[in-house]
Amino acid sequence: MERAGVAYQSDKSASPASQSISDLFADICTGMDVECEFEYPPSPPTWLDEDLYDRGIKFYEANFVGIAMSNGEALVSGLCIPSFYKALTFSGETSSSKREALVRYRDTALHIFYNWYRSKPWKEKTPASGSFTVVNKMHGHVANKIREAGETFEQAVKEKSVDSIHDPQAGSNTLQ
């Protein structure tokens, strides 16, 4: 596969532990242009170490504040990536006001922190498995809407952007 003039190849027969970072990155890059199917896997990956996963849950519980802060930073950083912020804007879920966007991100963070990091998504009827199913459906719905919009996507994003919506707080530094 070639992207931006760089050819990506990897030794698929090598185990992840013996592959270099560039080989692992090349594996990820091979799927960049493949549309996501938004299907929830019916079983955990064969490489999953459940004891290590349990240790990860304990680590999360012991380091919640740092993880929450880094996730918040990742979200803010993501808002600088066009494919990320344009999908959010296009969905219309966070573009009617600054306060609505803040509340939406807070609610999403609480949902993820409670459901994803504290249970096992491969086990049926756990908070994580239910949440992953719902989130996959929501992301699939938005992805289909973006695909349907086709060439009108960019114009729709522009129309739904905060700059195009009256902000009653203009000139104020407070969120109400």
Q: Write the DSSP string, 21-47.
A: HHHHHHHHHTTTTSPP-----SS--TT
Same domain, 92 and 152: yes
> What is the domain range of residue 19?
1-34
CA 106/CA 67 separation, integer angstroms: 14
- Going 48 to 53 to 17 to 36, the CA torsion angle's sign is positive
CA dihedral of residues 76, 81, 83, 86 (deg, nearest 10)? 60
Confidence of residue 62 (pLDDT cuts 50, 70, 90): very high
pTM above 0.75, yes or no: no
Pull the structure tokens for residue 124. 């049926």
Pull the structure tokens for residue 47. 């490489």
Q: Is residue 29 part of a domain?
A: yes
For the stretch 7-43, pLDDT in tens is 434 445 555 555 666 877 787 778 777 877 777 777 8
Is residue 9 within 8 A of residue 114, CB to CB? The reply is no
Same domain, 49 and 105: yes
Q: Is residue 96 part of a domain?
A: yes
Q: Mean pLDDT across the chain, nearest whole number?
A: 79
Same domain, 59 and 30: no
CA 41/CA 129 separation, integer angstroms: 10
Q: Is residue 156 part of a domain?
A: yes
Same domain, 61 and 129: yes
Q: Is residue 150 part of a domain?
A: yes
- Going 67 to 71 to 72 to 76, the CA torsion angle's sign is positive
Same domain, 53 and 21: no
Same domain, 49 and 110: yes
pLDDT, position 175: 46
Domain count for the chain: 2
